[in-house]
Amino acid sequence: MDSAPDVRREFDRNRDPLIAAQLDDLNRSEAERRDSFMVKRSRPTPVLRPGPALSRGPDRAAFDAQWQAEREGAVEKPRGVRRAEFIAKRQRQMRERDRTRSR
């Protein structure tokens, strides 16, 4: 018995990939362990961007397009239209509620 090789560590390593990863982490330092994939992914990386003089036109055009879309979406509907939409919505909800209760 004393002369048999210790195979437990290799057995654990081959049995489960998570255990293998834990055993591999035991050999690394604390600083190496802290450097995770999420930390690497969230680190800011330098990006080449045009200077302020070059980007003013496209930035202004994009902003104006978003602003116009926002203004068009914010146009207030007449009270009668809003009331009719509200009533239709409530009627749909009541029908759905009645369907689920009747089952």
Q: H or E stretch including 78?
A: none
Count of domains for the chain: 1
The answer to whether the beta carbons of residues 32 and 39 sit under 8 Å apart is no
Mean pLDDT for back-to-back runs of 10 residues, the chain (103 residues) = 75 84 80 65 75 84 87 80 93 90 74
Q: CB burial class (10 A; 0-12, 13-18, 19+) of residue 19? A: middle
At 101 the pLDDT is 80
Q: Is residue 18 part of a domain?
A: yes
The answer to whether the beta carbons of residues 13 and 20 sit under 8 Å apart is yes
Domain region containing 18? 8-42
What are φ and ψ of residue 34, in 5° steps?
-70, -25
Q: Is residue 1 part of a domain?
A: no
In 3D, which of 24, 67, 1 has the Cα closest to residue 9? Answer: 24
